[in-house]
Structure 1
Amino acid sequence: MSKFTWSLVVLILLSQSNMALAANLNLGWFSDVAVDGYDVVSYFTDGKAVKGNKKYSTNYMNAQWLFSSSEHLKEFKKQPQKYLPQYGGYCAYAMAKGEKADIDPKVFSIVSGKLYLNYNIEIGKKWEIDKGKYIEKADTHWKEQTQ
């Protein structure tokens, strides 16, 4: 095997292992930024979606997480699992149907201390009608998809 072929094989294997680490996170096609760059801590502390700043960022689970302040960055680093969106940041309503869909980071809800994101306002309204049932279904589908 030539050096070029061997190098190509190694490159492919490395890229696949990196993709596997991030496979369960909704990062978009050409980005490693989680939640479209929104500050996941702000959902809990401010009760609203706030765009993060690259100045306050960290790498976690092979993704870049942006925050609106150094305080939010520090808080995330202390307890990242507390702030991670459910279902890897995919649309919670879609996951209840067994599907993965992108999200609008401004359409969210916090239920029992967990962050759920949805595709758009209309889907968010459907989600709110019976979120307990949808969470139960989505949890089941997520486990099936990530095992």
Structure 2
Amino acid sequence: MKKIAFILVMIVSATPFAQDIHTKKGYAAEGYDVVAYFSNQALEGDTMNTTTYGGVKYKFATAENIKTFIANPEKYTPQYGGYCAYAVADSGKRVQIDPESFQIKDGKLYLFYDAFFSHTLKKWNEEGADMMQIKADENWEKMQLEKN
């Protein structure tokens, strides 16, 4: 009986629930279509095209994009919970994003904060995207451990 309970706990722990996902405006990527980014488009999703994954709501521009997402949600889920990738790398902080500032690198979606004088996508690339990604990965792992 104890082995069965342990296995159940492991299965529940492995499911994609309670993700640390930025959900300003109630949706991942502030309601932008995470699949459309992979076609180099920042498209706002439609409330008629929504789904939930891991307890997080996502909006899509088309019903076709929902199907694409459902077939492989981990591919389209933004890195670092959809927080600004530069801020995670630079300071280990969760910072909101500008959903129109993004980069697809190595088949992964990175979102950034951009304002009048602060273009973090530009800084990310100037400082070296590969190096910044390594720093962000390390910081994100620490941030997740601290959260739990």
TM-score (structure 2 length as normaliser) = 0.80
Offset, 1:99:
1.1
Aligned pairs for 1:52-91 within 5 A: 52-91=45-84
SS at 1:128's partner residue? helix
Letter in 2 for 1:66: K
Aligned pairs for 1:3-82 within 5 A: 21-22=18-19, 24-28=20-24, 31-44=25-38, 46-82=39-75
Structure with greater Cα Rg: 1
Aligned mate of 2:120, from 119, 123, 144: 123
Root-mean-square deviation (Å): 1.4
- Give the corresponding residue for 2:100: 106
SS at 1:54's partner residue? strand
Cα distance in 2 for partners of 1:80, 1:74 equals 10
- Which runs of 4 or more aligned residues in structure 1 lie more than 6 Å from their structure 2 counterparts after TM superposition? none
Is the Cα contact below 8 Å between 1:32 and 1:62 reproduced in 2?
no
Letter in 2 for 1:34: A
Q: Which runs of 5+ in 2 are unaligned?
A: 1-16
Offset, 1:32:
2.8
TM-score (structure 1 length as normaliser) = 0.80
